[in-house]
Structure 1
Amino acid sequence: MTTTRAQRRRRASQRVRARRTLVATLAVALIAGAVTAFALTRPEAPTPDVDVAAPATPSATPTPTPTPLTPAQKLLAGSTDPHACAVSFAGDGIALDPLLESEGSRYQSLPIPRTAGRVFAGWYDTADDAGALTTAARINGADLVACTARERVLHAGWTTPERNAAEDAGIPILMYHQFTQKPEGEDNWLRGNYVYVPDFDAQMAHIQQGAFYLPTWDEISAFIDGALFLPKHSVVITDDDADSTWLQWAAPIVAQRQLLTTSFVITSARTEPTPNPFVLQRSHSHDMHRAGPNGKGRMVNDDAATIAADLEHSAQILGAKEVVAYPFGHYDERTKEGVRQAGFELGRTIEPGYVRIGTDKLALPVIRINYGTTVDELAAKIG
């Protein structure tokens, strides 16, 4: 079939148009791809400023600062004693650190402050009692420790040297020896030394119910110096020898009545611990309660160094020095020197009398209690 010239021209024109369409299509596709690629890779346009508040950053909770421990609380924090009690001290001129005591036990280490121009008058439950010097509220080593929430504050009382001198207190030191359950007493050469046990109980009841103040030995020493006020209504109770009758019958009475008593022990004869918390054990020498060459006690026969060594031995057994009762009441200047060398501060004799301001500390007098002494007689002697 023969193709005409016109047909050939039409076909050529169609092919040209097809090529143009293809080129245009390809160009559009290329442009669209480029736009898409640009849109995907170009940086994000900045967000226009909008007045919107930024969310608040939550603040961290501050760590609370711990409250510092008081000196009393620090003492308690370092103690393993479940009965520990921190005792603090208050009052005019008082700047003392608290002390650790044990509740239910007697006070062991209450201080006696000294200030020029004033006389210390003891520790009290309240500031009002301290101002009034209320004897019944005065606290010392004769009392049991009692606390609230493991703490206690004691208030200092003060007085003047003039008032202290005007009180003119004479402190009786009672001296007991052996005890008997026989109303008629013992029938031997030491009969006078024995006290009928019910009589002793009645005498202790008088002291307890009369609310007598029971000074400790460090208080007696400070009183003699004129640095501590003691009321006239004071008494010291002592027993010599730590006889078995004392341990069996009398010591339980002072424990039941909670009366501080000193038992002077011959440590070569006894080394047992104290029979109860209300009995202080102090030295009656270790091995000097026997006669020397002149028939008197060894404390007036041996030299000062030997006396001192004996008392040191006694103190090691008892765990305390403080005061010694002279065996048989025998003493002289060499005795006193031996006592001083051993580090004892007080010496108790058997001479009658009362302890007063200025009394010789190594010659303390006593009030002897004999068989048959009545409560009325005791009252006349101690007030």
Structure 2
Amino acid sequence: MKKGFYILALTLIIFAVIAVFPIQTLAQKDQIKIPVLVYHYFAKGSKEAQECNSFAVVDIQNFEKQMEYLYKNNFKTLTMEELYKFLKGEYIPPKKAIVITMDDGYKNNITLAYPVLKKYGFKACIFVIGKFLISKNTSNEFEYLSLEDTLKYTDVFEFGSHTYDMHRLLNGMPILLQANMLDIIFDFVNNQVLINSPYFAYPFGAYDERVIEVLKSFNYKLAFTTKKGYVTSSTDLYEIPRFTISQKTTFDQFIKIVNGEYPDIYVHNPGHKTSKEKQHVKTLTEKKTKQTLLQKRG
């Protein structure tokens, strides 16, 4: 009798554990907020950063301070695959998880940022413009990375796509939004020959449903925007928000961002789209910045 009672009790406990554990796991997953950071250019010091006149530059001393904070506070940088598995419900990241990305693929990502990331054992993803990987590069750190660079620094960096030749503006608007489907497909094919990666960042943060459909047809797993917000379990795979880190980002702001305390401006909504007016202003600012940067650096 007692033996039967114990078996029944044990059976009930097992069923209770099976029933409760998925709920607890789901609750834990739903509470996770992952900040994805995006950097662009790096400067050797504050003076050089000021001379760049770029809204997206960060001097390397500030970058070192930020990475040192992450290291001392036990943050873990996720790879693209780990982020993807989290969004697919196949992986629960550590409590202090963060993703570091860099857009455009400038040479100073390697010459300046790489040693800092390697020092602290961090990983990052650079989204490169394919055309510039095979163009003539100079010793100027504000030139673009070469194709050879993408093969040499894989101990720290993985490399994603920023299109082959659609990081451009036409009449002040991103060309990716104006191009026909055949041109977009042709561009994606060219870039996949150079960078066979399933991860993508929209040039100027601009995208529409057509672009998303092409990404899906090419089996891209993740696509990154420039909208501010945290990645959660409900974030759309093709509308991942990021926090832009620049010289204007104070250290206090950085700490709030990485600790999930920054106002979450963007919450995913399938119907959410950036207005054309706002996008127009944003892309014009980007164009002016790049022109100024190239003039300053030669």
Q: What residue is the counterpart of 1:337 in the other structure?
A: 213
Separation in structure 2 between the aligned mates of residue 224 and residue 309 of structure 1, nearest angstrom: 29
- 1:314 matched to 2:191? The reply is yes
Separation in structure 1 between the aligned mates of residue 77 and residue 204 of structure 2, nearest angstrom: 25
Q: Structure 1 residues 379, 164: CA separation in 2 closer, same or farther (over 3 Å shift)?
A: farther
What is the aligned counterpart of 1:278 among 156, 159, 168? 156
**How far 1:298 sits from its partner (Å)?**
2.2
Q: Structure 1 residues 305, 171: CA separation in 2 closer, same or farther (over 3 Å shift)?
A: farther
What is the aligned counterpart of 2:39 among 172, 176, 188? 176
Post-superposition CA distance 1:319-343 (Å, at most 9, x none): x322101111110111111111222
Separation in structure 1 between the aligned mates of residue 225 and residue 149 of structure 2, nearest angstrom: 24
Separation in structure 2 between the aligned mates of residue 220 and residue 164 of structure 1, nearest angstrom: 16
Whether the aligned pair in 1 keeps the contact of 2:79 and 2:124 (CA below 8 Å) is: no
Report the AA paired with residue 180 of structure 1.
A
Q: What residue is the counterpart of 1:210 in the other structure?
A: 73
Q: What residue is the counterpart of 2:27 in the other structure?
A: 165
Q: Structure 1 residues 252, 188: CA separation in 2 closer, same or farther (over 3 Å shift)?
A: closer
What is the aligned counterpart of 1:365 among 225, 234, 241? 241
Separation in structure 2 between the aligned mates of residue 261 and residue 188 of structure 1, nearest angstrom: 24
Give unmatched runs, 5+ long, in structure 2: 1-16, 134-146, 260-298
**How far 1:161 sits from its partner (Å)?**
4.5
Q: What residue is the counterpart of 2:50 in the other structure?
A: 186
Report the AA paired with residue 50 of structure 2.
E
Whether the aligned pair in 1 keeps the contact of 2:44 and 2:59 (CA below 8 Å) is: yes
Q: Structure 1 residues 188, 285: CA separation in 2 closer, same or farther (over 3 Å shift)?
A: same
Separation in structure 2 between the aligned mates of residue 219 and residue 380 of structure 1, nearest angstrom: 23
Whether the aligned pair in 2 keeps the contact of 1:171 and 1:232 (CA below 8 Å) is: no
Q: More helix by proportion, 1 or 2?
A: 2
How many equivalent residue pairs? Answer: 224
Post-superposition CA distance 1:28-55 (Å, at most 9, x none): xxxxxxxxxxxxxxxxxxxxxxxxxxxx
Report the AA paired with residue 306 of structure 1.
D
Q: What residue is the counterpart of 2:64 in the other structure?
A: 201
Compute the TM-score of the two structures, normalised by the length of structure 2: 0.69
Give unmatched runs, 5+ long, in structure 1: 1-116, 119-158
Separation in structure 1 between the aligned mates of residue 53 and residue 211 of structure 2, nearest angstrom: 28
Q: What residue is the counterpart of 1:7 in the other structure?
A: none
Separation in structure 1 between the aligned mates of residue 22 and residue 251 of structure 2, nearest angstrom: 34
Whether the aligned pair in 2 keeps the contact of 1:224 and 1:361 (CA below 8 Å) is: yes
Post-superposition CA distance 1:98-118 (Å, at most 9, x none): xxxxxxxxxxxxxxxxxxx99
SS at match of 2:125: strand
Q: Which of these two proteins has the greater Rg computed from alpha carbons?
A: 1
Q: What residue is the counterpart of 1:235 in the other structure?
A: 98
Whether the aligned pair in 1 keeps the contact of 2:169 and 2:175 (CA below 8 Å) is: yes
Separation in structure 1 between the aligned mates of residue 76 and residue 58 of structure 2, nearest angstrom: 23
Q: Structure 1 residues 169, 305: CA separation in 2 closer, same or farther (over 3 Å shift)?
A: farther
Compute the TM-score of the two structures, normalised by the length of structure 1: 0.55
**Where in structure 2 are the equivalents of 1:97-176 lying within 5 Å?**
160-167=22-29, 168-176=31-39
Q: What residue is the counterpart of 1:355 in the other structure?
A: 231
Q: Which has the higher contact order (CA 8 A, sep 6+)?
A: 2
**How far 1:306 sits from its partner (Å)?**
2.8
CA-atom RMSD, angstroms? 2.1
Whether the aligned pair in 2 keeps the contact of 1:296 and 1:330 (CA below 8 Å) is: no
